[in-house]
Each structure stands twice: as C-alpha cells, then as structure tokens.
Amino acid sequence: MLLVLWSHPYSAYGQKASVALYELGLPFEQKLVDARDQALMADFRAISPFAKMPALVDAGAGRTIYESSIVIEYLDRLAGGGQLIPADPDAALEARWIDRVVDSYVGWPMNRIISGKFRPEGQHDAYGSEQDAQQIATAWDTLEDRLGDGRTWGAGESFTLADCAAAPILTYARRLVPFGDRPLLKAWHGRLMARPSFRRALEDAAPFGDLMPAPPAVD
C-alpha cells in the first residue's frame, strides 16, 4: 500500500488528514504543496482540480480522494473501519456533526480572516472579518454546550473524525478568537494538544516556523 498525502504540514486541513493517518498507523509519504512551484502545482491540480489541500493518492488502489473529511472516511475504511468513524450509527452521526461545525463555522471563517490579513492596504474588509469572528464565537458556544454532557473527546469517549478536525483548527482559530470563559472547550483542546498523533503533525510543521499571522493564544 502506497499512500501519498499532497498537502503542506502547516495547513490546518492537511494536519487534519495527517492526524488521521498517524492515529490509524497507516504509513504515508507527504508531498509538499508549494504554490511557488508552477510545475508542481500543475501536477497538483491534475489530481485536485480546485487545488485545495489535502489530496490523498492511493497508488495501490488507483484512487485519488480530496476534501479532508472524505479523506478520513476513506482512511478509516482502509484501516478496517470503526475507528475514526464509529461503527454505531448515532455515534458516527455525532462525529460527522462535530466535524461539520468545526470545518464550516470555525475553519472556513478562520481562513477568510487570515486571507484578509494579507490583503493590500486599503482593501481590508473589517466588517466581513468581524462577522467571521462572531461566527467562530458562536461555534465556541455551540461546542461548549455540546461538551456539557461530560464527554472526553469531541463526539464521545473515542477519538474520532471530530477530533482530527478540531485539533489543528481550534489550535489556530483560538489565536484569532480566544476561547474566553469556556472551560470545557479549553479542556478538550488541552487533550487534543497532548494527543500523540497531533503532536506528530505539529512536529512536521515545526521546520516551517510560525506562519499564522496572529499572536499565540493567551486565554
């Protein structure tokens, strides 16, 4: 089995996929996506038409999968199933729901805020960035409420797709919108930071320095 993950180690969605690979114990090669390399980007677009990271190539099966949540669904099945996507239908639904909240209401607005920070002077969208920050804050409240049942991980007592998504995205988004007075969210994030699979993903990113255009979280 030869798995190639096209991504960048500092990409939150790329880290989401690499956490899953490390969690499942699946060996893989990471192909660095570098927007400055036009020839490489042409190859990347040939397998990922929207040029979005990550993209997974399973050479043995002759398959290419992109979109991080679908990549993880595929990897879980490849590893035998029932690990990152729980076998129980209700538990699987909860894992997918948390994943969607994290991706859609934290990850996407986070990326818009970050993109805005790189706009030329005079072209910043302060109103749009404030709306995105409010959406992230609403997601923090939603997750805090969901964690109120005493669960250990994002969707229950097992580490799942939900946690693969949350580990990197919460880590970076809290630098833009602090957790504030949300102790359950902070505690969950602390467990994510200590998870060996996420620590390995962070180690992969370390050689690239700190690419996040916001100071480290202090809350």
* CATH for 194: 1.20.1050.10
| 67 and 98 housed in the same domain | no
In 3-state terms the chain splits into helix, strand, coil percentages (rounded to 5) of 55, 10, 35
What is the pLDDT at residue 33? 96
**Per the domain annotation, does 53 fall within a domain?**
yes
| 110 and 169 housed in the same domain | yes
| 72 and 117 housed in the same domain | no
Integer Cα distance of 201 and 23 in angstroms:
11
Q: Which residues contact 70 (CB under 8 A, 6 or more apart)?
A: none
Q: What is the DSSP letter of 217?
A: P
| 98 and 71 housed in the same domain | no
| 159 and 66 housed in the same domain | no
Domain ends where: 78, 100, 127?
A: 78
**Per the domain annotation, does 161 fall within a domain?**
yes
User: Could you tell me which of 4, 8, 7, 12 has the C-alpha nearest to residue 208?
Assistant: 8
Over residues 152-206, the pLDDT tens digits come to: 999 999 999 999 999 999 999 999 999 999 999 999 999 999 999 999 999 999 9
**Total of domains in the chain:** 2
**Structure-model confidence comparison of residues 209 and 106, the more confident one:** 106
Helix, strand or coil, per DSSP, at residue 63: strand
| 126 and 65 housed in the same domain | no
Over residues 43-85, the pLDDT tens digits come to: 999 999 999 999 999 999 999 999 999 999 999 999 999 999 9
- Residue 119 to residues 59, 94, 124, 129, 145: CA-CA distances in angstroms? 39, 37, 6, 12, 35
Over residues 96-115, the pLDDT tens digits come to: 999 999 999 999 999 998 88
| 124 and 42 housed in the same domain | no
| 65 and 112 housed in the same domain | no
Answer for the pair 192, 163: CB distance below 8 angstroms, yes or no: yes
**Per the domain annotation, does 148 fall within a domain?**
yes
The range of the structural domain enclosing residue 196 comes to: 89-201
**Per the domain annotation, does 84 fall within a domain?**
no
Helix, strand or coil, per DSSP, at residue 59: coil
What is the pLDDT at residue 127? 67
* CATH for 57: 3.40.30.10
| 60 and 97 housed in the same domain | no
Integer-rounded Cα Rg, in Å, for the chain is 17
| 11 and 33 housed in the same domain | yes
Report, as an integer, the average pLDDT of 2-22.
96
CA dihedral sign, ordered 156, 158, 159, 162: negative
| 38 and 104 housed in the same domain | no
